[in-house]
Amino acid sequence: MLNPIADRIFKLVDKMDAAELTACITKDGLFRFSNMEPVVGSENILIFLTDFFKSIKAICHSELEVYEIGNTIITNGVVTYTRHSGSKYQCNFSNTFKMKGDLVSEYLIFVDNSLLYSE
């Protein structure tokens, strides 16, 4: 069974709900996607997520593994992106959520999505 926080986060990501996902992150939270520069602060994270979700048609996470170490949740699995053309790109990912209470203070995504926008 997934950690309830991780479960909620993945459901929101897969629904591409930028506003509700951002609400899971502290106001001064840090969000880093792949090898991009970190985005800091909920307003900036909301803008980033909104723009990213607009750039794809759909996203789905599967084969999830969850590990908890203190205030850190680590997840591994497979992510499938659906491009606007309808084609799919699938790859492995690992996320780290550093928690502050029930909110994520650092949301770190490790994924090679270098081929996502190439067709």
Report the pLDDT value the prediction gives residue 1, as an integer from 0 to 100.
53
Does residue 118 fall inside a structural domain? no
Does residue 95 fall inside a structural domain? yes
Q: Which CATH number do you get for residue 73?
A: 3.10.450.50
Q: List, in sequence order, every residue forming a beta bridge with 83; answer none if it has no partner.
A: none
Does residue 99 fall inside a structural domain? yes
Q: List, in sequence order, every residue forming a beta bridge with 92; answer none if it has no partner.
A: 78
Report the pLDDT value the prediction gives residue 119, as an integer from 0 to 100.
74
Q: List, in sequence order, every residue forming a beta bridge with 44; answer none if it has no partner.
A: none
| Mean pLDDT, 10 residues at a time, the chain of 119 residues | 87 98 98 96 98 98 95 97 96 98 97 88
Does residue 37 fall inside a structural domain? yes
Does residue 85 fall inside a structural domain? yes
Domains in the chain: how many in total? 1
Does residue 117 fall inside a structural domain? no
Q: Which domain holds residue 42?
A: 4-111
Q: How far apart are CA 78 and CA 111, in angstroms?
A: 10
Does residue 119 fall inside a structural domain? no
Q: How far is CA 41 from CA 48, 78, 105, in A?
A: 11, 27, 10
Could you identify the residue written with the tokens 């949301």?
107
Q: What is the pTM of this model?
A: 0.94
Does residue 28 fall inside a structural domain? yes
Closest residue by Cα to residue 55 from 74, 36, 40: 36
**Angle, alpha carbons 95-54-37 (nearest 5°):** 45
